[in-house]
Amino acid sequence: MRQQHRGFTLIEAVIAVAVSGICLGVAIPSLTGAISAAHAGSAKSAMVETFTRALTHSTVTGAEVVVCPSTGDACVDTTDWSMGWIAFADLDGNRSRGPGDTPLMHQAALANGVHLRGTTGRKLIVFKPTGAAAAGSNATLTLCDRRGPAKASALILANNGRFRVGEADPSAAVACMQPL
């Protein structure tokens, strides 16, 4: 009687490994793109929530609300919002977070590879009790990630306090991808 052995031949194993490698080579870039898109979507949602909360607090309480880039409890002098941001009721009107100001929100740094860059010269945004952004607080924040400038979007705040998402300016999208 001849015994039959079960298992794989070397050629079958090599073919299986090659097919697996090809499948992974195709799947990993799309998975990375999906993860980048999810991180960018989370950043966009966080900024929408911040603007909504700031606008609501300002109109309900009658206090000006400041939203600015931050790495902790104070505003940072930059247009790079990627490291996080804060929102606070600016009760003393000095546009800087102090001990008497009411903290409203703190957003941690964005996920690796996601950048949020503000309009040149717009290092903070102020919401007035009327619901409008303070004069000069209109801003366009460009949101980009590892998928490249073609996938960048613009988060636009008008002086009247209206917020919308639009297409990023091509030069702002390229600049968003550059390290600061």
Domains and CATH numbers, the chain: 10-177 (3.55.40.10)
Beta strands in 60-152 (DSSP E): 65-69, 85-89, 102-107, 115-117, 125-127, 139-144
Q: pLDDT tens digit string along 53-108?
A: 999 999 999 999 999 999 988 999 999 999 999 999 999 999 999 999 999 999 99
The pLDDT score that the predictor gives to residue 114 is 92
pLDDT of residue 134: 74
Task: Give per-residue pLDDT as tens, 33-52.
Answer: 666 677 678 888 888 899 88
pLDDT given for residue 48 in this prediction: 87
Return the pLDDT at 75: 94
Rounded to 5°, the CA angle 143-147-153 comes to 25
Torsion angle, alpha carbons of 85, 47, 106, 42, to 10: -110
The conformational region for residue 40 under phi > 0 = left, psi -120 to 50 = alpha, else beta, is alpha
Q: Is the pLDDT of residue 130 over 70?
A: yes
User: How many Cβ atoms are within 10 Å of 42's Cβ, its own excluded?
Assistant: 13
